[in-house]
Amino acid sequence: MIALTGQIERITYANEENGYTIAKLKVQDQWDLITIVGNIPSPSPGETLDLKGEWVHHPKYGDQFKIHSYRTTVPATVHGIRRYLGSGMIKGLGPKMADRIVKKFGEKTLDIIEHQIQRLEKVEGIGAKRIALIQQAWKDQKKIREVMLFLQSHGVSTGYATKIYKTYHNRSIAVVQQNPYRLCMDIFGIGFVIADRIAEKLGFPKNSELRAEAGIIYVLYGLADNGHIYYPYDRLVDKCKEVLEVDGLTIQTALERLFAESRIVIEDLNENLNTSKAFSKAVYLKKHHVCETGIAARIAMLLQTPPAAPPIDVAGEMDRVQKLFAIRLAANQLSAIKSAIDNKVTIITGGPGTGKTTIIHAILKIMRRYRLRVMMAAPTGRAAKRMQETTGQEAKTIHRLLDFSLQKGGFQKNETTPLDCNALIIDEASMIDTHLMYHLLKAVPIQATIILVGDVNQLPSVGPGHVLGDMIQSGQIPVVSLTEIFRQAKKSRIITNAHRINQGEFPIVDPPAGPDAETDFYFIEQKEPERVRQTIMELVAHRIPARFGFEPIDGIQVLTPMHKGIVGAENLNNSLQNALNPGEERVSRGSNSFRIHDKVMQIKNNYDKLVFNGDIGRIEKVHTENQTVLISFDQRNVLYDFSELNEIILAYAISVHKSQGSEYPAVVLPILTQHYILLQRNLIYTAVTRGKHLVVVVGTRKALHMGINNNKTMKRYTYLEQRLSNFMKNSG
C-alpha cells in the first residue's frame, strides 16, 4: 500500500450516485499533476487529501493512483484555501468572493471563518446577510462531512448522504444505525438496495424482521410502479423470496406483522367467502386499498344522489348550440352532450379528430346558460392550458384545483371543504391514477355532475391503477364512445394513421406526390441503431427546422420507447444536448450534466414546489455560490438546490409514457426491433397522437408491424371494476 498526500487541483469527474471521482492532485515537489481515481465524498478543489492506494495503468489515460482509503484535511496554503472556498461547497461564496476574502486574510482565512466570522464585514460586498449565510453553511458543512464520512464508509454516495442529513440532521447517524431501512421510505432516490447494503455493513442479518418488512414494502412499491394496485398473495411471497433470498416462512411472518400494524391490507377477493382459496388473497399497500375502495364508494354515492341543478331542455339547447357554433353535430356527439347533462357521472372517450373538444365546449355553453358553476381541470399543466385556450374558460391542473399544500398537509379540497361547483369537466382522464382519482372524487360535491373525457386506447396512467378503463368495464357508468373522424380531421395523416394503428392497420407511409408536396406524417426507413440516432440528430437540428420552421428545442420532441441503448432516451439526450445546447459551464449530478438553457423534465411529484411528474421546463440560471438552479416551468420560476437535481432529467428525448397528456408541434419517434419487448399498439398510438402538426417515424417497417400487431397490454392487478359492480349491486 502506497501513501500519498496532495491538494485537489480540479475535479475531472464526480458521480453523485456512487461517489466515484476522477481528480487531479498537486503533490508537493512534483511538477506534473497526478490523476487519482476512487470514491471520495464531496470532493472540492483546494482540499488536502492523505491517500492510501496503488498505482495502476489505464490503456488510454496512462498512470493513475487508485484510492483504497483517504483522510481529508483543511487546506493549508493560500492557493488551497482560495480553491476550497470558491468551489461552490460553501453557499454564499463563489470564486470572486473567495478571492477577495483570501486576499484580505491570507492563511488565517479559515480560522477567521471558524472563530471570528464578523471580520468578513471588512471585505467588499459582504454584509450581515451574507455572513449569516456563510456561517450556517460552514456549520452545516462540518456536520455533513461527519455524516458523509460515516455513510461513505458504509457504501453511501455523497448525494444521498446530503439528503440523509437534510432529512434527519444531527440524528442522521443514530437513525441509520438503528434502522437503515427507514431510508427507503423517507428519502427519494434511496431504494431498498442501497439501504440493504448499508444494513449489511452494519451487521443486520438477511433474515432480520426489519429487512423482511422493508423488503416486502419495497417489492409492493416496485409493483405499483408497474401499475399494480394489489398483488396476489402467493405470487408476492414467491417474488419476495427471490428478491430477499430468504425462506417463505420469513416472508409470511413479516406479512402478518405488516398486516397487524395496518401497513398493508390482505383481502380475500373471492366472492364466495365460504370457499376462500389462497390464490384469491390480494395484498395491498394500505393507501392503495383506501384509494381503490374509496373511488368505488364515492362513485356509487354520486350516481345515487340526485343533481341539485334545475331541469335542462336538452333538445332545445343542443339546437341552440349548433346554431351558435354554425355546425351540425354528429349523432354520437349529441349523445355525449345529452348523457353529460342527464347523468351524474359520464365518460366520453374517443381518439383524435372525433370532436371531444367541441363536445366540452357545447356542454360548457349549455350549463353556463343555466347559471351552473362549472369547473374544468386536467392532469397536466399543458393539457389544462390547451383546455383553457379552446374553451375560453379557466382550467387548472387537478393538483391546483384541489389546492395542494405541503405545509397544511395535503389536498385542501376534500369532502369537508368541497369544490364550489355544480359540474366538473376533466380532460385527459386516462392519465389519472388511483391515488389522484380518489382525492378528486372526494372533493366533488355529492350533488354535482362529473364528466370524464379521455382516450381509453392510450397508455394507462403512469401511476398505479387503470381507473378509466376499469370504470368503463364495470358497466355501471354511462359511456359514450366517439368513433367518427370528422372531415377536417381526415385531411391529417397523423389522425388518419393514429386510428389505423388503433384498429391494428399499418399506417399510410407513402411519401406525398410531387417534389414540393407536404404531409404531416413521414416514415424514414433505417435499420441500424446508430444510423437511426444520426438521422434523428439531423432531423431535429437541421431538416425539420429548415423545412417546417419548428424551433429545435421547444418545437420538436423526440419520443422513444426505451431508456437505454443507442436510441434510448439517455443516449439521445446526451447527443441532442451537445448539438442543440453546447457549452462548457455545467452542473453534474450522477449521470446527468445540466447546462443553462437545457430542456429538463421533473420525474417525481414535488408538492412543495408544485412541480409534478412529467412537467417540462428550461434551466434559466445556475448559481454556483448558492448551489441552486433556477428552472422555468410554463413561465413560473422554481428554485432547486444542487442536492435536488436527481428529481430532474434532460428532456430533449423522453419516454412515450412520460409524454402522456402533452401535445408537441412536432414529434420524432424511433421504432426498432431492439425495442420489441416494449413495442405495443397503445404505445405507438399514444406516441403518434402527441404530434400536433408533424410526426416523423424513424426505423423499420418490421418493428412498426410488430408493435401494431401486439395488442396484448400488460395486465395490471386492480379490483376497481368489480368493486364498482359490487357497490351498485349492494346499494341497488
The pLDDT value recorded for residue 442 is 96
Q: What pLDDT, in 10s, does the model give residues 439-476?
A: 999 999 999 999 999 998 888 888 899 999 999 999 99
- The rounded Cα 42 to chain-centroid distance in angstroms is 26
Q: Which of 571, 593, 577 is nearest to 655 (CA)?
A: 571
Q: How far is CA 83 from CA 22, 393, 409, in A?
A: 17, 55, 43
Secondary structure class of 408 (helix, strand, coil)? coil
The pLDDT value recorded for residue 314 is 82
- Contacts of 316 by beta carbon, 8 Å cutoff, 6+ apart: none
As a whole number of angstroms, the distance between CA 351 and CA 688 comes to: 11
CA angle centred on 561, ends 558 and 567, rounded to 5° = 65
CA angle centred on 569, ends 565 and 572, rounded to 5° = 80
Task: Provide the β-strand partners of residue 667.
Answer: 557, 695
691-699 and 664-671: which strand pairing?
parallel
Q: How far is CA 58 from CA 35, 64, 204, 370, 591, in A?
A: 11, 7, 37, 78, 22
Virtual CA dihedral for 102, 108, 111, 116, nearest 10 degrees?
Answer: -80
* Backbone phi and psi for residue 71, each to the nearest 5 degrees, phi listed first: -140, 135
The pLDDT value recorded for residue 273 is 45
Burial of 357 (0-12, 13-18, 19+ CB in 10 A): middle
The pLDDT value recorded for residue 157 is 62
Is residue 43 within 8 Å of 25, Cβ to Cβ? no
The pLDDT value recorded for residue 355 is 87
The pLDDT value recorded for residue 276 is 45
The pLDDT value recorded for residue 349 is 94
Is residue 197 within 8 Å of 151, Cβ to Cβ? no
Beta strands in 233-288 (DSSP E): 264-268, 281-285
Distance in Å from the first CA to the final CA of the chain: 80
Secondary structure class of 543 (helix, strand, coil)? helix
| Residue ranges of the chain whose pLDDT lies below 70 | 15-19, 41-44, 73-77, 79-81, 83-92, 144-145, 148-149, 152, 155-159, 162, 271-279, 487-489, 514-517, 589-591, 625, 730-732
DSSP code per residue over 300-327: HHHHHSPPSSPP--HHHHHHHHHHHHT-
The pLDDT value recorded for residue 679 is 85
